[in-house]
A = this chain, B = another copy of it.
């Protein structure tokens, strides 16, 4: 029954089956991946705009312009799609963060400055992404799958910041550098979290520069040799 020529939707006609299947598979895979990503994007849009509670399958497919069954086809269900969207959003966050760290002058205080400025930059702290982060935060406590990708002390960020603060504390010659560094790490991450929440709940009052100054004021207080209220010195 496969012994007939194959005509693809794009008009290509294959007489030889081997190449026909390969081409068809490729086109399918492309379309498959596109659809998969479209669902993730639509899900994130949805979460940002109307919140996780109202993010229904109907909303998602309506935004993606795809069919109802596709969510189960690609992800096996809505919950898995949400988890996948959380994973993807988290990945995007780290991509930006790593890019910004790489661009910084190569010493701990400038690297740390880059982390803070990245977290408060429009690339990271914008209405859509902050909303998504906020929604996933809300769900993380009661949804194990989402919790994995939405975790303040997420090992990556914590280790990253921890390494920087440790070196800075040592360079500053602080007694008990290690304990101090752990405290500053916890504090810095908590502070950023709190400022994100502030941004979301008061988008009009929030001022990016003020927020940076708030952080750097605290840092200049404890590391007066490395920071002033505008950043690393």
Q: A-side interface residues toward B, CB under 8 Å? A: 1, 4-7, 9-11, 13, 50-54, 131, 134-135, 137-142, 147, 151-153, 180, 183-184, 186-187, 189-195, 197-198, 200-202, 205, 210-211, 213-215, 217-218, 220-222
Instruction: Pick the contact of A197: B9, B50, B147, B190 (CB < 8 A).
Output: B190
Give the Cβ gap from A128 to chain B, nearest Cβ, in Å: 12
Q: Are A153 and B191 in contact (CB under 8 A)?
A: no
Set B50, B139, B183, B194: member contacting A192, Cβ < 8 A: B194
Task: Judge whether B187 and A217 touch: CB under 8 Å.
Answer: yes
Which residues of B are found within 8 Å of A191, using beta-carbon distances?
A: 187, 190-191, 194
A198 interface neighbour in B6, B147, B153, Cβ under 8 Å: B153
Taking a contact as CB atoms closer than 8 A, the residue among B135, B193, B210 that contacts A194 in the complex is B193
Q: Contact at B151–A201, with CB atoms within 8 Å?
A: yes
> A141 touches which one: B9, B11, B189, B201 (CB < 8 A)?
B201
Q: Which residue of B lies closest to A185 (CB)?
A: B214
List of B residues within 8 angstroms of A9 by Cβ: 4, 6
**Closest CB in chain B relative to A208 CB, distance in Å:** 13
Closest to A142 in B: B51
CB-CB < 8 A to A198: which residues of B?
Answer: 152-153, 186, 189-190, 193
A135 to B134, CA, bound (A): 11
> What 10 A-B pairs have minimum CB-CB distances, sorted nearest first?
A138-B138, A190-B194, A221-B221, A51-B142, A193-B194, A221-B222, A194-B194, A187-B214, A7-B7, A218-B218
Residue of B nearest to A176 (CB): B229
Q: Are B141 and A51 in contact (CB under 8 A)?
A: yes
Find chain B residues with CB under 8 A from A140 CB.
201
**A74, chain B: closest CB distance, angstroms:** 15
Q: How far is the CA of A135 from the CA of B139 in the complex (A)?
A: 8
23 intermolecular pairs with C-beta atoms under 8 Å apart: A6-B7, A6-B9, A135-B138, A138-B139, A141-B201, A152-B198, A153-B201, A153-B202, A183-B210, A183-B214, A184-B214, A184-B217, A186-B195, A187-B191, A187-B214, A187-B217, A190-B191, A190-B193, A190-B195, A191-B191, A192-B194, A194-B194, A221-B222
